Structure 1
Amino acid sequence: MALTTATSTKTSSTGESVSTKSPRAWLQQALPKIVLAPSFAITVIFVYGFIIWTIYLSFTNSKAFPNYVLTGSRAYQRLWRWTFESDPPSSWYTSITNMGIFGVLYVVICLALGLFLAILLDQKIRGEGILRPIYLYPMALSFIVTGVAWKWFLDPGLGLEQTLHQWGWTSFHFDWIKNKDFVIYTVVIAGVWQASGFVMAMFLAGLRGIDSEIMKAAQIDGASTLQLYRRIIIPLLRPVFLSAFIVLAHMAIKSYDLVVALTSGGPGGSAWLPSNFMYEYTFKRNEMAVGSASAVIMLMTISAIIVPYLYSELREKNK
């Protein structure tokens, strides 16, 4: 045994025993840190480092190229001034208005539709094995593919409207994708189509994880199906609701490619979200400080959603 141990014991000049590790044992202990060190360094530099760099640029007067002279909160003042003007010189007002419309409808409809589909599949209906992957398939597509497909489908000259006209329903009109007042709702339609299946899978896993004895006891006590879901099952799905909300809110805030692929920003930027505004002003209009300020606001919004969730999760684990 003495030959195979990773450590050896030596006696110091004071008579105390000192344990020393062999090079092989030290390497085995340090190897995970050595392997993870490059990826950790890359994450620190290219994620958190550039977050700090973006925050710094938002307090400068950077245009096409970075300007490292601090000028205070001028970029933020311009953004918020544009926010409260009825006819702003930019699309920031439009972007945050669209974010409110898209975010609320996207999250609420996905949660409601996902829960409905999960309850439907939980009834052990025939063909569940076929329906489940059909509902989940859209999530396997990128937002670019989803946007292009729905762009063709909603285009009045190519998709639904043209098809119904050929079938004889010439009075049907659906030009939302060309209408600046309704174009954001086409983004909602495409986003819900892609994400609702994923939410369904989350709720279905939650439903299958509920103890059947609880439901049997409620049924014995005379609870109807509606009461069973309203008072027992849905309250037990609270963690799933919270997790789905966090995922959907995060996806809504950082949505960019779906808007570009589906509407190309809409007529006059009418479908812009904050992510589209940030890209446009940073890389096309040579307003790097303003674009950085909008990116910081997006980061703060995401943090306001995720940090409380992480705090509650950690607090539950520490109990």
Structure 2
Amino acid sequence: MKAGFLPKLLITPSALLVLVCVYGYIMFTVYLSFTASTLMPQYDWVGTANYARLMGLENWSVALSNLWVFASLYIVIAMALGLTLAILIDQKVRAESGLRSVFLYPMALSFIVTGTAWKWLLDPGVGLEHTMQTLGWSNFTFGWIKDSEMAIYCVVIAAVWQTTGFVMAMFLAGLRGVDSEQINAARLDGAKSWQIYQRIIIPQLGPVFISAFVILAHMAIKSYDLVIALTNGGPGRSTWLPSVFMYQYTFTRNEMAVGAASSVLMLIAIGVVVLPYLYGEMRKVKNG
């Protein structure tokens, strides 16, 4: 028996499962998006008719609009807060390990748990509004989760809370990797701390910014469980995202082909974000 045979034998079942259950079903979904499938898969070829219909649906337009608001705010705020926290912790504060654990803890929770907890907190009847009014601030109101214009921002708040600590850890690792000799030289030249961060440290965090953006962007595109647990897509369809649209049309409205078409577009969007990053990383490894 050759030395490399046993490892290949051990990894083959896992590789086959991934090939069939991941890439196989991806290709099957792509195929369904070009068929007349409704409640159950059908194999009558209709070409791009489902994509044309998808683009004309108001619900899809609403989902895309909500995704734009959610993703842009989520990515910008999470990265800004993560960088700020990383800079503060990088000042060699006391109990640094404890603070890191506190900020990272939300990432250990599932999005279902996060959505449920924030749903209770933001519910006017039992959450923040009720608590503040009980404490004597009778005019305090915070009913965003019940407001169709503001509910999407509740999703942003919960998502930012969930992932900011993870982004902080990424930036903190980047800060610890900055060349200390450049920083010491700048201090000897009389540069202030904010100038050092602005002109030396932050420009060297470019790869971390890109990595954080890619991770947050793909999480925003595929977000589903957080929305369902927090608002269930409501009020009305005010917090529908493409993932919610896909589920509704595939499993609730019995339009499997349209749902498949929406999932294919989501896959393409994630690919547009992730593949250039992976290609760049592979080139770095190849070039040493």
TM-score class, shorter: over 0.9
Provide the rounded CA distance (Å) in 1 between the counterparts of 2:153 and 2:176.
33
Aligned-residue Cα RMSD (Å) equals: 0.9
Provide the C-alpha distance between the structure 1 equivalents of 2:97 and 2:67, rounded to a whole number of angstroms. Answer: 36
Structure 1 stretches of 4+ moved >6 Å: none
1:252 and 2:220 matched: yes
Partner of 1:120: 88
* Deviations 1:219-250 (CA, angstroms, capped at 9, x unpaired): 11222211111111001111111111111111
Q: Which has the higher contact order (CA 8 A, sep 6+)?
A: 2
1:238 is aligned to: 206
CA distance in 2, matches of 1:39, 1:193: 35
Distance (Å, rounded) in 1 between the aligned partners of 2:97 and 2:37: 55
Matches within 5 A, 1:303-318: 303-318=271-286
1:317 deviation in Å? 2.1
Q: With the length of structure 1 as denominator, give the TM-score of the two structures.
A: 0.88
Q: Deviations over 1:243-290 (max 9, x none)?
A: 111111111111100000001111112111100110111011100000
Over the matched positions of the two proteins, sequence identity in percent amounts to 59
Q: Which residue of 2 aligns with 1:68?
A: 43
Q: What is the identity, as a one-letter code, of the residue corresponding to 1:273?
A: L
Q: Pick one of 19, 24, 31 that aligns with 1:44.
A: 19
What residue is the counterpart of 2:242 in the other structure?
274
Q: Residue in 2 aligned with 1:132?
A: 100
1:179 match: 147
Separation (CA, whole Å) in 2 of partners of 1:95 and 1:62:
22
Flag structure 1 segments of 5+ consecutive residues without an equivalent: 1-22, 83-87
Distance 2:190 2:54 in 1: 58
Structure 2 SS opposite 1:269: coil
Per the TM alignment, residue 316 of structure 1 is displaced from its structure 2 partner at its CA by: 1.9
Range 123-132 or range 290-299, more displaced: 123-132
User: 1:130 and 1:315 mapped to 2: Cα distance?
Assistant: 37
* Higher Cα Rg, which structure: 1
Cα distance in 2 for residues equivalent to 1:184 and 1:121: 31
Q: Counterparts of 2:282 and 2:104 in 1: how far apart (Å)? A: 30
Return the letter of the residue paired with 1:114. G
Query: Aligned partner of 2:65: which letter?
Result: T
**Unmatched 5+ stretches in structure 2:** none
1:26-175 matches, cutoff 5 A: 26=2, 28-82=3-57, 88=58, 91-175=59-143
The 2-side partners of 1:141 and 1:29 are apart by: 39
Structure number having the greater helix percentage: 2
The offset of 1:67, in angstroms, is 0.8
3-state SS of paired residue (2:4):
helix
Residue 195 of structure 1 corresponds to 163
Distance 1:231 1:50 in 2: 48
Deviations 1:54-96 (A, max 9, x none): 01110111100011111011110111112xxxxx2xx211111
What amino acid is the match of 1:142?
A: S
- Determine helix, strand or coil for the equivalent of 2:37: coil
The amino acid of 1:123's aligned partner reads: Q
